[in-house]
A = this chain, B = another copy of it.
């Protein structure tokens, strides 16, 4: 690689109101600087596109600082080390990290960088952005630590065909739970039941959820893993059991609101049922990721555990690909392939 090779980046040009549009982005090209001592250069191969990215584009305090105007858009990614002046990595190593929406990441590869080696022999590269990446860790620790499901209990998960949801349901199944998904459309529901092995899946586009929840959760709902918020959260709240646990992982239905967020009108069901609603942020479990990766990789090896990625190709497609998340157009974990391995 020569020092005059070019990097390309999507930077945040303006904060969106509602859905992000083209004017929110600036596509920038700049020459790659020579590496400094301790740095590595990563050629990014796959970018992770996640609902949480919408939140990072907003101003204001959250669980992580907002992306600044003019800054490269934050994104998880996997890539390959193409040049290294760090003893921790060698050219050819596959790595994951918060490399951002750019073709090359250059930085100090110390421990606090969060850059870690990944083993493509365990699972294909896109799976490291899915079941063995953030969504998988979110599902694993959110379900186990906050949801605390017990064998025989009923676990419901929304966005069940999505990156987090598909792993939540499969982990719950491994634990001996009855697992009911909620997803949009017959194709996704079929996938959730036939491929992922959920006991049932309710199509929220088919009409009100009440009858489906009643039919498929005859013993009520013990754990609800919520990725969507809004009316779906409200519907499940009417079916929870005594001492139920609701894991608040996200609220994709509310992220692009230009009106105030719709709070769960049925939250007093928590009182009636002595139930709990609790938030989870995956970063809290970073020290335990190796444990999560090991257990999920073990299930993958055993062959009954599935993952599915929806791969869109082309760096320049980033802005429109991101929107697929909010339109429910992706089927499986959405990743953007930007270079050949």
Contacts and interface: CB of A to CB of B under 8 A. Distances in A.
A264 interface: yes
A280 B276 contact: no
A229 B269 CA distance: 13
B279 A270 contact: yes
A260 interface: yes
Contact of A271 (B250, B264, B270, B273): B250
Contacts of A270: 248, 277-279
A277 B277 CA distance: 5
B261 A265 contact: yes
A254 B260 CA distance: 19
B267 A263 contact: yes
Contacts of A262: 263, 265
A4 interface: no
21 contacts: A63-B271, A63-B273, A229-B268, A234-B263, A248-B268, A251-B268, A251-B271, A261-B266, A261-B267, A262-B265, A263-B267, A264-B264, A264-B267, A267-B267, A272-B279, A274-B279, A274-B284, A275-B278, A276-B276, A276-B278, A276-B279
Interface of A: 61-63, 229, 234, 248-251, 254, 260-281, 284
